[in-house]
Amino acid sequence: MSVFNGERDLTRTLDSIAAQSEGDFELIVVDDGSTDATASILSQYAARDKRLRVITQSNAGLTRALIRGCDTAHAPIIARHDCGDTSLPERFAKQLALFNDDDIVLASCWMRWVGPQGELLFVVQPTAGEARRSLLNDSVNTIQGVPHVTAMFRRDAYIAAGGYRDAFYYAQDVDLWIRLAKRGRFAVVPEVLYETGYDIGAISAARRREQVALAEIAIAIRDGGDERELLERARAIGRGSRRSSPRDSARALYFIASCLRRNGDLRYKQYARAALRRDPLHLRSWLLLMR
C-alpha cells in the first residue's frame, strides 16, 4: 500500500486489514512523502502490530511507491490495497484460496463503490476469463481488466513479467495486467470483498487523457511495437498535478447523483443541488432535477 497525506482515512484502512480472518501476512506501507500525520499514525500502528512494515521515501508517485513495496515483499503472494479503502474480513482468505490452482497468476474480487455518506453507488463485478481475454486482445476503447486495488498476484509471476514499470505514471495496472495475462489464468471471487469511496475532491478524471495515452502504449507493446521507443514515449507523458476546480467538483457530484437516482435513492437530489452550487451552468444536473 502506498499512502500520501492519508491521515483522514488511514486508521480505518489499517483496521480493516488488521481484522482479516487470514492473519498470516506482512503489511508493507510506503509513505510517499506525506507531510501530515500519516507518519505518526503508521508509527503508532507498527508499535502495536509487528506485521506492519513502514518504508518512507520522498514523494515519487504511486507507481514508484508500488515498485519499492513489491521489491521489499518476500511472501509468495502480493496483495494490493489503497489508503481510504476497506477490505472485508474474508477478503485475504477467499482470494488466497484461488491460488490452489497452480496456473492462477492473479486473483480479484467484486468491489463496491460508495458515496460520501456511505451510499451504495455501484458494484464492479469483473469476470476472470473475460478480463484476461480483453487484456490480451482488445483495443483501448474496450479493454477491461480487474480493479487495481482488489488484485492479488504471484510474486514469481510479477518478477518474471517485469513488475510495475516506472514509465507508466498512470495506467500502471493495465500495463502489468497485460503482461501477467500472458503468464497464466485469472480468478475472481464473485462476492463483494472490497469497498472504496468516491472522492469528490479527486481529479483523476482530469488526467483521463494521459491515462488513455499510457494504456494505448501498453497495448502497442503487447501487439509487438518497439518496446524501447514506446517506453520512452510513456516517460514523456505529462504527470503534473493540478487542484480540483469547481467544475471538476460539479462533475463528481453529478456522477454521484446519477448513480443514486439509478438506484432509486432520493438523496440524489442533494448531490445534484450541490453540483449546481459549484457550477450553476452544469446542464446535466439541472436536467437530473427536472426529471
DSSP string across 76-121: SEEE---TT-EE-TTHHHHHHHGGGSTTEEEEEEEEEEE-TTS-EE
**Sole residue written with cell 472522492:** 199
| Domain membership flag for residue 25 | yes
Pair (177, 87) in one structural domain? yes
Pair (47, 139) in one structural domain? yes
Q: Alpha-carbon distance 32 to 2, whole Å?
A: 7
DSSP per-residue string spanning 242-276: -PPPHHHHHHHHHHHHHHHHHTT-TTHHHHHHHHH
Using an 8 Å Cβ cutoff, are 20 and 89 in contact? Answer: yes
**Sole residue written with cell 427536472:** 290
What are residue 30's DSSP bridge partners?
A: 2, 55
Report angle CA 221, 223, 227 to the nearest 5 degrees. Answer: 25
- Kindly compute the dihedral angle of the four CA atoms of residues 116, 194, 187, 143, in this order, to the nearest 10 degrees: 20
Cell triple for 112: 463496491
Q: Alpha-carbon distance 28 to 17, whole Å?
A: 11
| Domain membership flag for residue 229 | no
| Domain membership flag for residue 209 | no
Rounded to two decimals, what is the model's pTM?
Answer: 0.94
Using an 8 Å Cβ cutoff, are 80 and 150 in contact? Answer: yes
Domain interval for residue 56:
2-201
Pair (180, 254) in one structural domain? no
Pair (260, 156) in one structural domain? no
Pair (272, 159) in one structural domain? no
Q: What is the pLDDT along the chain (291 residues), one digit of tens a residue?
A: 999 999 999 999 999 999 999 999 999 999 999 999 999 999 999 999 999 999 999 999 999 999 999 999 999 999 999 999 999 999 999 999 999 999 999 999 999 999 999 999 999 999 999 999 999 999 999 999 999 999 999 999 999 999 999 999 999 999 999 999 999 999 999 999 999 999 887 656 567 889 999 999 999 999 999 999 999 999 999 776 556 788 889 999 999 999 999 999 999 999 999 999 999 999 999 999 998
Pair (82, 159) in one structural domain? yes
Number of domains present in the structure of the chain: 2
CATH number, residue 95: 3.90.550.10
How many CB atoms neighbour CB 30 within 10 A? 24
Cell triple for 30: 510506503
